[in-house]
Every structure is written in C-alpha cells, then in structure tokens.
Amino acid sequence: MSALLTVDKLAVEFPTRRGVLKALDDVSFHISKGEILGVVGESGAGKSLTGAAIIGLLEPPGRVSSGAIYLHDERIDNLPEKQLRNIRGRRIGAIFQDPLTSLNPLYTVGRQLVETIQTHLPLSKHDAQERAISLLESTGIPAARERINHYPHQFSGGMRQRVVIALALAADPELIVADEPTTALDVSIQAQIIDLLKELCKSKGTAVMLITHDMGVIAETADRVAVMYAGRIIEIGPVRDIIREPSHPYTRGLMRSIPTLDSGTERLEQIPGSMPRLNAIPTGCAFHPRCSAAMPVCTQKRPELQQHEQGQVACWLHHAPVEEPVA
C-alpha cells in the first residue's frame, strides 16, 4: 500500500546562544490511507514536535534542518507559508490537547466552522452552514442545529473536543494529526472520541497520526505504534506485537508501567531516571544510562532503526554492531 504521509530522516533544530539543540534526529516513518499510527513516549521525547513539523507549525526559532516530509509524492516541508496554509486544513487537519486553544471564545462555533469550510471549499454560506451542522451531528453533538449558534464556553470539555474534531474534518482532509486529543477528558468521553477517530478511518479512509503518552489509548486505537525517545524513533511496528512482545528495553519499561486488572501486583514497575535534556543527550544509545540491559557498545555507538520481526527497532540487543575496519 502506497504511503499517504512519508517522513524521511527528519531533523529539527533550535538555535540558542549556547549552540544548536537538535530536538528531532533522523525521524523516519510512513502512514497509509485509513491507518492510525500511534506515536508514544514520555514528555520531551519529540512526539508533539514531530506533529508540529508535519503541520508546518514549528514555533520559531525551531526549524527543519534536514530530511523531508511528503504528502503522497509532494514534498511539503519546504513550501512557502501561503501554499502550506492551503494544505493545512484542506488536506491535513489538526486536533490539539486543549480545545480552548483551537476555538475563538468570541465567535460562535458555527461561525468558526463556516469560515473554515468556506476558506477551503467552494460553498455558499448556506451550504457551508448545512455542512457545519452535518459535521457537528457526525461528531456526536446533540441538537446540532440549535447548538451551532452557541459559544465555546457553553459546551463541556468533551463537547468542545468534538467541535474541534468537526473543525479538523471541515474540508475532508486526507490526514489528521491528533496531539493528545483525549488527555483532558474523562474515561467515558475518551472512549467516544476514540470510537469516532476509528470510524473516520474506516468510513472515509482518513489517516491519523495519534500522539499520546497513554499506551491504553494506543492499544485500543492504533494499527501501528512508533515509540520515541530523546528525539528519535527507537521502535516501530504493529501495535499487537509491540504490546505483547516489545523489543526495545524502553518499550518494555513502558509496558510494565501499565496497570492490569489481573496482574495482582501491588506496585507498578518504573523506569529509573528521566529523559535527558537536549543539551545533554548521552553518546551511543540515548537510553543506556537508564537501561538494565546496557552493554559497553551501548555507551559508544548509536544503534540505527533496523528490521526486526514485523517491525523495526534501534537496539544493540538485536543487531550486532559492525566492526570498524582497522586503518
């Protein structure tokens, strides 16, 4: 299946007074039509930054320093802002963690939807209004025809998130970048949002990049999962394989930190230490100071993402390092 989105060796840098900080380093993956790719990792791993780079919303002075992003066969990371604005919203939709950051409190949700629709689609105001009502209904907003004239503060948190999803879908995008879309919601609303995203993929063939720290959401929603650590993807593969038999020690640590109903354990395992700062990323494998399986080579050489089982993993436990030729 041909890829809808391809991210190829992406690197993002932040110039500072003390030098250049590399926040993303050699990130590569693809998403196919109708597929949900989960992107998971601790805070600071680079998940949201990857999503922002794809949408073209990197905050200055952050910049894409190398690599490329393709939508189908069209490169989009080097487009002028005007062209990128036409793609953002029309072909790529975005859902953010806090719906209040996506909604203008001074305008009704109807006005915001209609303006978004008319920006990207050649529809009259009446047709745009009807489409807006249809979108609100499809995302589960009751009495959508009346509520379209309400302001964001008149909706609950879960309903506001549904409005944001309706905004993201306004122009029938091919790809949705969903950054922590369920974090601020209670469990029952989370389940409804997850079901909604899955239904979109099934019925419209929309591809979704689902960014989250919640492995439970990933397990329930995603087809494949990419695990990020210190600005790199360290494991990627089918979600079932990674949840049942993770290959990277970091991924195993994430799995063991998830509570289960039948485990009977009183205390969850935790990964010692914390994510390294961008100006203090260790040599070799960035995870080696926290890894109980670290070997001498882990401190010296950085493992690259290589094929393993049904996915890929960057770990010397699975790939013997290539010896350097003696001069």
In a domain, 14, yes or no: no
For residue 305, is it within any domain?
no
Q: Give the model's confidence band at 102: pLDDT under 50 very low, under 70 low, under 90 confident, else very high.
A: confident
- Which structural domain range is residue 84 located in? 33-57+73-259+270-282
- The answer, yes or no, to whether residue 1 has pLDDT greater than 60, is no
d(CA 119, CA 217): 33
Q: How many domains does the chain have?
A: 1
> Looking at the domain assignment, is residue 144 inside a domain?
yes
Which residue shows structure tokens 């050699």?
26
**100 assigned to some structural domain:** yes
- Write the pLDDT tens digit of every residue in 235-247: 999 999 999 999 9
How many residues are listed for the chain in this entry? Answer: 327
pLDDT digits (tens, 9 = 90+) for 45-77: 999 999 999 999 998 899 999 999 999 999 999
3-class SS of residue 75: strand
pTM for the full predicted model? 0.91
9 domain residue, yes or no: no
More confident residue, 324 or 276: 276
In a domain, 6, yes or no: no
- The 10s digit of each residue's pLDDT in 106-158 is 999 999 999 999 999 999 999 999 999 999 998 889 999 999 999 999 998 88
What are 174's two structure tokens? 């091919």
What's the CATH code of the domain at 123?
A: 3.40.50.300
Q: Residue 321 falls within a domain, yes or no?
A: no
- 16 inside domain: no
